[in-house]
Amino acid sequence: MIPVSHFVILATVLFIIGVSGFLFRRNVIVVFMSVELMLNAVNILFIAFARMHENLVGEMAVFFVMAVAAAEAAVGLAIIIAFFRTRMSVDTDDAAAMHG
Amino acid sequence: MLISFYLIALVLVLSAFAVVLLPNAIHSALCLIVNLLGVAAMFALLEAHFLATMQVIVYAGAIMVLVVFVLMLLNMKREALGLRQYTLFAFSFLVGSLFLAFIAASSSIQWGDALQYAAGSVGTIERVGRMLFTRYVFAFEAASLLIMAAVVGAVMLSRTKKSQHLSGGAS
């Protein structure tokens, strides 16, 4: 029997790795993949608590997170391609047009 | 049970570190596939069979195919990761761990209790499908609408100037 706290700790560690990658990487696609890491960490937590409470609502939440993540991947990658076309780069430092 | 949890957790943490720390983006993508399959294994361990299947099909299948495809489309160079970047990573990881410690200290979770396993499995396809098409049917339809909008948006965003010109001339 696995204690729930193990899942909480694992999910938090994965989430922190995702946040750190989101903050320190410069490649837009790696930043995007860090977001996926964070989403998956939260999904593990949802399922663990759904299992603990014998309740399917958590699994429904994960299902809709997956649907939104699929939509986000399609739009995000299209934005990355459009960005690459205008700047010829995938570096987040080059997305500084709003700084003036 | 506990041993398989620790094995999967080890794979998950190592591959997550690899995603974030490897300088070549295609290596990160391959490690992310390992990570997503590990998450699917974790779902299976928690008896969410339907979501484990969806995780493999949607995440490790569809989304990662998209990501790898885009990576090959854009021919990018290795990211220069120096000591400064690694220091930044270590610092942000440390701050995050402090945040975790703060949550652990202030939460009301009983850290010792185990998952209680009932006789019937929770996340079977039958039960998930029944719930999805009764209580959550509007959310389900809204999700399909959202994905439709995302597909149209992705096509609009990735159109080239040439095809814009062509469609402008045709209308």
Helices (H), B46-160: 49-54, 64-73, 83-106, 125-132, 137-157
Q: Which of residues 13-42 of B touch A (CB under 8 A)?
A: 13, 16-17, 19-20, 25, 28-29, 32, 35-36, 39, 42
**ipTM, 2 dp:** 0.91
Top pLDDT among B103 and B143 is at B143
Nearest by Cα to A50 from A1, A100, A7: A7
What are the Cα distances from residue B154, in Å, to A43, B9, B128? 25, 35, 30
- Residues A19, A86: contact at Cβ < 8 Å? no
Tallying the residues shown for chain A, one arrives at: 100
- What is residue B169's predicted lDDT score, i.e. its pLDDT? 45
Q: Which of residues 118-157 of B touch A (CB under 8 A)?
A: 118, 122-123, 127-128, 131-132, 136, 139, 143, 146-147, 149-151, 153-155, 157
- Tell me the pLDDT tens digit for each residue of B106-161: 776 665 566 666 555 666 788 888 888 999 999 999 999 999 999 999 999 888 76
Single pTM value for the model? 0.87
Q: Which residues pair with A27 in a beta bridge?
A: A91
- Tell me the pLDDT tens digit for each residue of A9-64: 899 899 999 999 998 888 899 999 999 999 999 999 999 888 888 788 888 999 99
**Phi, psi at residue B24, to the nearest 5°?**
-90, 125
